[in-house]
Amino acid sequence: MESFRTELENPIVQKDIIDLERKIREFREGKIHDEKFRSLRLARGIYGQRQPGVQMIRIKLPFGKVTFKQILKIADISDEYASSNLHLTTRQDIQIHYVSLDRTPELWAKLEEDDITLREACGNTVRNVTASPSAGIDPAEPFDVAPYAHATFKYFLRNPICQEMGRKFKIAFSSSEADSAFTYIHDLGFIPKVKNIDGQEVRGFKVLFGGGLGAQPAIAHAINDFLHEDDLIPYIESTLRVFDRHGERNNRNKARMKFLVAKLGLEEVLRLIEEEKTANKSSKFVIDRETIQLPQIPEQTSYPEVIISDQQHYDNWLRSNVFEQKQQGFYGVYIKVTTGDIPTAKARKFIEAIKDIVADEIRITINQGLLLKFVRKEALPLLFERLKELDFAKPGFDSVADVTTCPGTDTCNLGISNSTELARVLEDLIEDEYEELTDNQDIKIKISGCMNSCGQHGLAQIGFHGSSLKAAGKVVPAAQVLLGGGTLGDGLGRAAEKVIKVPSKRTKDVVRLVLDDYSQNKAGDELFNDFYDRLGKDHFYQLLKPLADLTTLTPDEFVDWGHEETFFTAIGVGECAGVVIDLVSTLVLEAEEKLQWAISSFENQAYADSIYHAYSVLISGAKALLLDKGINSSTQTGIMRDFDEQYRDSQILEGIDSFTELALQINKNEPTPEFAQNYLASTVDFVNRIKIAKEAVQL
């Protein structure tokens, strides 16, 4: 690969990109093991695709905020390096596909020119921090959560405590008790609250803990009704330290926070978090409330007279996609984006169409749409007509007609079925046969290509995830049907229940039967989930059971949506949460590299970072020696315990009470310069002991 050079204002970012280029070259030369390199590139937003030899690039946009200039830059990048398409995700990122690995450093450098990062968009890290797209303009919000989401993103980006955790960690901020950011399915979720104390307004958050979807969904626990705003970052830091130390690392299917809660118990996990606070970089962290300013309001106040081309369409759009902001006289406008995909040519036309009538700040929504801000009432007709020309004025945003989906088998290694084409089919079904439901925001349809919930099927009233069935000696593309999920508000939610599995081509009939049954048998204005609870899961199983009859399959049902060939399952190695690295030589090299990071951080007076890098050195070194004995511990606490058992009488621990005590000084001491110096010296001594022991074995 050809080398390139970049000049960026931020030397840390520049070093990061040059390091990626070097690591790619070493990987090509066989100097870095494939498994280690996979972990490294994932933490830089580079994800292997289903198609060999190309990558998906995930662009990290904290709480979905993106400017006109940034959209245009990402479109240019997609044209030059990818497939001329922008895919909006349910975590408010943008993904581009079919990128050559060797071009990723250059691509990243160009994005950083406009303050766009790839760092930690994938892998075992803190993923993109999401928030209600309406934050800042939501009439129901106690205060704008955007500065808090931004501070969280910034504080933990490149933070050594969360670079190589057992699995990913997801954080969300909702703007109000409506909980439009789905805090209840996150590792940590925050809902803004205000208290009046001694005549002063005090800000804080309700805290939701240990939620998640996937194959085993868990609704988060409400653990604090009011966490003071200055305690927000320290609490997240303590939580991440506990997750890093105690979380599972060998079995990725049991490696999320919800499983640690199940294993240790909620009270014990919360106790460990309290215990960890001593070691935090900051005991309090005051967040700058002015970090995220409201965008500049468009100067234009008069607009050309517009003749509405379709009055009913306009009225439906106003009713379902437009709302009045808390800023009087201005409106937010939601855009429904089918399957979350925007071709780059359309993206450019879109920016040209809106740039003089909306504020220069777009938010990507959690259901793969867009939110425009600060539209004057007088500009709404003009905006509607311009959006309509681009097919961006479809009514029914966040309704039953707005289907959420992941990319599925289009590009994902784990995809079992084509979720994107199914989403288009179901949206057409609602538009053609249930137009009256485009105002219904009680029922949501969500689809994932597999059980991993990237399409949020587990929190839908009607959800599907890709699967397969066997019939007549062949494999049939199938959909697992789930019903009854959804948001209740203020951190409460419910996970959808698995009801039945049917051939994929019969999902239209599933939707028809469920919606018709609801329409005909609901009691007055009964909400769907109340209807589901009243009739019970078995009612819907019996209703849908005829669709699961495989004796009536037709030839086209052996072909998945959007395909022409007979279906077969081709699931690759998933990269959603990185991989477990078990190679002794890799761990030794890793320890030496981290030791240099610890020394560098200490020299730069970043004492907390130096301490955590040193701790990582201790863990990597101990794990390497254990692997030499064939012992593969699944947690960092397990590594400490096993190392003491195996090496208590060795020269490595001579004069040391125990390796556990040595390592766990980290959570018994504040990150002072004196402790950082002593801990680093102990780490250097431990590494030297390991080298001497290994040399003795080799002799």
| Greatest CA separation for the chain | 89
User: Is the confidence at residue 575, as pLDDT, over 90?
Assistant: no
Q: Residue 209 forms beta bridges with which residues?
A: 188, 221
Q: Which domains are assigned to the chain?
A: 11-112 (3.90.480.20), 130-279 (3.30.413.10), 311-389 (3.90.480.10), 404-558 (3.30.413.10), 584-698 (1.20.120.330)
* Token digits of residue 339: 């399957």
User: Is the confidence at residue 580, as pLDDT, over 60?
Assistant: no
Does pTM surpass 0.85? yes
pLDDT confidence of 578, banded at 50, 70, 90?
very low
CA–CA dist 66, 163 (Å, integer): 25
The stretch 453-467 carries a mean pLDDT of 94
Query: Regarding predicted confidence, which is higher, 690 or 491?
Result: 491
CA–CA dist 555, 646 (Å, integer): 61
Specify the pLDDT at position 402.
Answer: 96
Specify the pLDDT at position 15.
Answer: 87
Of the listed ranges 79-88, 274-283, 298-307, the one predicted with least confidence: 298-307
User: Is the confidence at residue 661, as pLDDT, over 70?
Assistant: yes
Q: Which residues contact 313 (CB under 8 A, 6 or more apart)?
A: 388, 393, 395
HSE-CB of 27 using CA atoms within 13 angstroms: 18
Specify the pLDDT at position 296.
Answer: 86
Four-point Cα dihedral 572, 578, 580, 582, nearest 10: 90
pLDDT confidence of 584, banded at 50, 70, 90?
low
CA–CA dist 43, 47 (Å, integer): 9
pLDDT confidence of 294, banded at 50, 70, 90?
confident
Specify the pLDDT at position 560.
Answer: 85
The stretch 180-201 carries a mean pLDDT of 96
pLDDT confidence of 577, banded at 50, 70, 90?
very low
User: Is the confidence at residue 673, as pLDDT, over 80?
Assistant: yes
Specify the pLDDT at position 565.
Answer: 65
CA–CA dist 572, 420 (Å, integer): 19
CA–CA dist 343, 499 (Å, integer): 36
The alpha helices in 406-527, defined as continuous H runs, are 419-433, 507-521
Most confidently modeled of 29-38, 244-253, 328-337? 328-337
Q: Give how far the C-alpha of residue 345 lies from the chain's centroid of Cα atoms, to the nearest Å.
A: 27
User: Is the confidence at residue 219, as pLDDT, over 90?
Assistant: yes
Place of tokens 């049939």: 476
3-class DSSP assignment, residue 536: coil
Neighbours of 698 (CB within 10 A): 6
Specify the pLDDT at position 567.
Answer: 54
Task: Please state, rounded to an integer, the average pLDDT across all residues of the chain.
Answer: 92
* DSSP, res 135: T
Pick from 454, 593, 496: nearest CA to 127? 454
User: Is the confidence at residue 339, as pLDDT, over 60?
Assistant: yes
Specify the pLDDT at position 606.
Answer: 96
pLDDT tens digits for range 395-408: 999 999 999 998 87
Specify the pLDDT at position 574.
Answer: 52
Q: What are phi and psi of 502, to 5 degrees?
A: -135, 160
pLDDT confidence of 581, banded at 50, 70, 90?
very low
Specify the pLDDT at position 545.
Answer: 97
Place of tokens 């962290």: 285
pLDDT confidence of 569, banded at 50, 70, 90?
low
Q: Which amino acid is at 515?
A: L
pLDDT confidence of 582, banded at 50, 70, 90?
very low
Query: Regarding predicted confidence, which is higher, 15 or 212?
Result: 212
User: Is the confidence at residue 119, as pLDDT, over 70?
Assistant: yes
* Token digits of residue 293: 């300013």
Strands 188-197 and 171-173 turn out to be parallel
Percent helix / strand / coil, the chain, rounded to 5: 45, 15, 35
* Token digits of residue 629: 């004995």
* Token digits of residue 184: 């209840």
